Structure 1
Amino acid sequence: MTAELVAVNSGPHSCSLAGYPKLEIRMDKGSRAHGAGQGSPAPVTLDTGRKAVIDLRYSEMNGKGPDTECPATASPADVAAPGDSATVRVPMVDQNAKPTKDTICGAEVRMSAPVAR
């Protein structure tokens, strides 16, 4: 499955996102999936109103089909900017900004490098 993590610069000045954010997705049964990126992505500078998008990839299958042993559904996520320890709890939403949940098998969600949009 794929999803996106989106951060918007709502401040009055440009800002920079340097690295991968901390991402921890909470599961219904108390377990968590953590975001993992590879390497050191180039910093992304965001003018006011611009957003950084990180593609997320994860499995909702155990290799044989839907897995009832998976940690059920996931929502919400705790996110912190790179190098920041303060997390923000964000809901998982669909393309229409409606609350949603998704099944994540495994403890890792792969993250692409941030891209400005």
Structure 2
Amino acid sequence: MRKIGWALAYAVPAIVTSPAACHFASCSYRDYDVPMPRRMTIAGQIEQLIGNLGGSPICDDCITDQLNLSVRSQTNVVTRELGHRDEYDRAKTSCGQCGALKTAIQIRK
């Protein structure tokens, strides 16, 4: 497929020009003048989850479960780094989700 203009991409029915319509074809977002959707990184998802808890501590296992991550070590790498920042507190405490006494992270109030 050739590149098409931005205005044309939005004027023609979505079934013809939508990158989603190319799911099973050999098309890509580069075939259109539309921006590729951005996905949040794992670190960004973890930061957002911790922030949404409003100061309630959460352990790495619960973060892994809630974000459907494949391995706990992904979470551990991120939470150890966040624990060094001033706005986060990472210490051994009871998790606000599962109640177990573990190393958990929370946003400082």
Query: Please, what TM-score do these two structures have when normalized by structure 1?
Result: 0.24
Q: Which has the higher contact order (CA 8 A, sep 6+)?
A: 1
- The structure number with the bigger radius of gyration is 2
Q: Which has the larger helix fraction? A: 2
Q: Which has the larger strand fraction? A: 1
